[in-house]
Structure 1
Amino acid sequence: MSQKKDAPLVGIVMGSDSDLPIMEEAFKALDGFEVPYEVRILSAHRSPGATAAYVKTAAERGLQVLIAGAGWAAHLAGVIAAETILPVLGVPIDSSPLQGMDSLLSTVQMPPGIPVATMAIGKGGARNAALFAVQILALQDPLLAEKLHAHKRKMAEEVVGEKNRKLEDYLAARKSAPKGK
């Protein structure tokens, strides 16, 4: 299911529909940069054949980067990386009793020769996976590169401007508040 009218450049795969609230952060980031993507639910364990078939045709369908989000020590990103030469970005999902540590370890501890770029656990990792995908795509797309530069400038301005203004307001209010015991 393509999310944009243009051919998707990024494939987002998640192991379960329960991962959707986390992976939604990747959708939002890609939408912000107008990068077309497609999304699938595929499991390394419950649907290994369908997962392999999807990955084996990804490059010929025009995908350039794959993002895989999975929880419960699932090896989705590794299974995907074993079937392609496309960059694979793994997002550990914090859905298990171990709060994502199992997912993190299963994603980051890949054997030599099967690389997976592993992001942080949860929503921040999903967002960073999308931003990393945009950075990869920007190597060949000057317009996308400029959008990334503008994004970084905006983040810097927010820290230097707005966040410091809020801090100054807080400190001034704190200073003028009556002293306690």
Structure 2
Amino acid sequence: MNSFLEYDKGVAKFNQELRLITSPITSWDFYGDIINDFRTINSDAKLINDLGTQSKWLNGNWDLKNILKEEVIVVTDASLKIVFASQNIAKMNGYTPAEVIGNSPRMFQGEKTCSIVSNEIREAIMNKVSFEKKVINYKKNGDLYYCLIKGFPVFNKTGDLSHFIAFEQAA
């Protein structure tokens, strides 16, 4: 077989002889999506691991590849500026990693974001403790979405706060 076209013609002829009225399933699009997702997940996991190694994080035992299949990861420095966002953030809210890096996570908040929940998150961050909250955020196009955020402070080997890491998912 020299091409997929010959294969498709052969399958069509076979199906006609069987008197079936179905078309063959072509899964190359699905395969391409899976391969791209796999590459993205591996790339993001490597970048986060490199950041952890460079910053000498104490707690870096997350199963990042499995987390990245379902969740967006956002990492801020100690001053709460985004230094990393996984590529799948675009699927959740329309922003690319390049558009969010250097900004505060507050960029996702707006008028309908609950100030009580925001204050609870702020308090957890000030106290350097983990938190899990559901918050109303805004997509790039202005649409609202609920976001479940699991945030964790990350400390370096000397015990100083290095970063915050958040595992997020549209809820």
Please tell me the TM-score bracket, short chain as reference: under 0.3
TM-score normalised by structure 1 residue count: 0.24
Question: Greater helix percent: which structure?
Answer: 1
Of the two, which has the highest radius of gyration?
2
TM-score norm. by structure 2 comes to 0.25
Q: Where is the strand percentage greater, Structure 1 or Structure 2? A: 2
